[in-house]
Amino acid sequence: MKKDQFTVVTDGGITTPKGFRAGGLHCGLKKTERNDLGVIVADEPAAAAAVYTLNAFQAAPLKVTKESIGAGGRLQAMLVNSGNANACTGQQGEEDARRMRAEMARVLGIDEHLVGVTSTGVIGELLPMEKVEAGIALLPEKLSAAGSDDFCQAILTTDLVRKMVCVSVTVGGETVHIAGAAKGSGMIHPNMATMLGFLTTDAELDAEQLQALLGEVTDTTFNMITVDGDTSTNDMVVAMASGRAGGGKLTPQHPHWEAYKAGFRYVSEYLAKAIARDGEGATKLIEVQVAGAESLEAARAIAKTVIGSSLVKSACFGADANWGRIIAAVGRAGQQVNTETVDIRLGDISVLEQSRPVRFDEERAEEYLKGELVQIFVNLHMGEQQATAWGCDLTYDYVRINAAYRT
């Protein structure tokens, strides 16, 4: 990913790509007055793609969105509520998700299969549909090209900050935008998480190519983060491409494909890291880079195991340079390792070389671990493959937040 292939649009949002509007409002699902219902709307049906949680218990809205995208690979509206996950709610939950889709389609004057639905919040509670439908009826008047912030607020649960990013790429002489918004701070674990992600672009791609790109990029971004080892029931990332910018249809054969792909990956990685950084109770972002693996699968598995270790996360919170927890995580990742060749660094501080301890300045290491970004480097010296995973520290506040999540 070369940053000279794209430009970060500092004031951009999910409505910066041509052909999109968004909005949000408070309909009463949350106890606070924060927005809890939002929608992204394309001017015309857009090519659409999505990836979903691997949890066996998939929430009703995911089933409805799969139906919508499966009907033709296009969406014109993506409706989302926070405060209630509509998960494990049986037949009534599925009927409510379809009612949300039908009502959104009605007020926009579009076909039902052009609407996707997703929800986030407490599991196992039925949606108060009178409030939801009253809110949907008001959403069209909230739609605007300046509605990114209102939408981003509508998707938050325990998040402390909104997560939004936008880049521009030159494609065929035209300026193409890729933007994204996401929520997530707890119940985050590789292979999706309690996270929702929304990507918009005005590039021209068909649904199949967009799906392939989203799947590939998700494997190295959203699927490489963890907060607490839990994978939720509602996780989804959906991408919509309006094709309004011009520059020609994008395929891997297009001369500007690699630049576009780099921008798409940057947006996804930015959001993934923002979710990890905003982990419930977190004080720092942790990045684990594994190099020298025999296979990509091994590199990813080891990186995920280290970043997901409660002991490693706790040590980072306490600024304790206990590299023994890191090497133990490497060894239990279920991958072949040469126990005589592993190197470990904390930032630029070497603590293990060829699987042997290295004398290091404990005070300097402690000071480094107190920072907002902690990078852990593991080199296996077995091959050429590498992978990176992101997470956060495990703090007292994580327990406090989740001990009273419903109350």
pLDDT for residue 161: 67
Do residues 164 and 71 share a domain? yes
Sheet containing 373-379, strands listed edge to edge, beginning at the edge strand earlier in sequence: 356-357, 349-353, 343-346, 373-379, 285-293, 385-392
Q: Which of 245, 277, 309 is the last residue of a domain?
A: 277
Do residues 204 and 304 share a domain? no
Do residues 199 and 304 share a domain? no
Backbone angles phi, psi at 323, to 5 degrees: -70, -15
Report the candidate in 310, 298, 290, 276 with the shortest Cα–Cα distance to residue 399.
310
Q: Is the dihedral of CA 331, 335, 336, 337 positive or negative?
A: negative
pLDDT for residue 283: 84
Do residues 47 and 191 share a domain? yes
How many residues belong to the chain? 407
Mind listing the pLDDT tens digit of every residue in the chain (407 residues)?
A: 567 899 999 999 999 999 999 999 999 998 888 899 999 999 999 999 999 988 888 899 999 999 999 999 999 999 999 989 999 999 999 999 999 999 999 999 999 999 999 998 888 999 999 999 999 999 999 999 999 999 998 987 666 567 899 999 999 999 999 999 998 654 444 444 457 899 999 999 999 999 999 999 999 998 898 765 556 788 889 999 999 999 999 999 999 999 999 999 999 999 998 888 776 667 889 999 999 999 999 999 999 999 999 999 999 999 999 999 999 999 999 999 999 999 999 999 999 999 999 999 999 999 999 999 999 999 999 999 999 999 888 877 777 766 765 55
Query: Cβ distance 150 to 23 under 8 Å?
Result: yes
Do residues 168 and 246 share a domain? yes
Do residues 53 and 79 share a domain? yes
CATH number for the domain harbouring residue 379: 3.10.20.340
Catalytic residue selected from 194, 201, 220, 221: 194
Domain with 297, as residue range(s), is 285-403
Which residues have C-beta within 8 Å of that of residue 103, sequence separation ≥ 6?
133, 136, 137
pLDDT for residue 99: 98
Q: Is the pTM of this model over 0.85?
A: yes
Q: Is the dihedral of CA 368, 370, 373, 379 positive or negative?
A: positive
Do residues 171 and 305 share a domain? no
Q: Which of 277, 306, 326 is the last residue of a domain?
A: 277
Would residue 118 be called left, alpha or beta, if left means φ above 0 and alpha means ψ between -120 and 50 degrees?
A: beta
Give the Cα separation of 316 and 80 in Å (integer): 35
Q: Which of 222, 257, 277 is the last residue of a domain?
A: 277
Do residues 256 and 142 share a domain? yes
Do residues 177 and 252 share a domain? yes
pLDDT for residue 188: 40
CATH number for the domain harbouring residue 219: 3.60.70.12
Do residues 201 and 312 share a domain? no
pLDDT for residue 403: 73
Indicate the number of domains in the chain: 2
Q: Which residue shows structure tokens 């909005």? A: 23
Which residues have C-beta within 8 Å of that of residue 329, sequence separation ≥ 6?
302, 305, 306, 309, 311, 312
Give the Cα separation of 130 and 78 in Å (integer): 20
Do residues 216 and 242 share a domain? yes
Do residues 131 and 250 share a domain? yes
Question: What is the CA 162 to chain-centroid distance, rounded?
Answer: 12
65 is catalytic: no
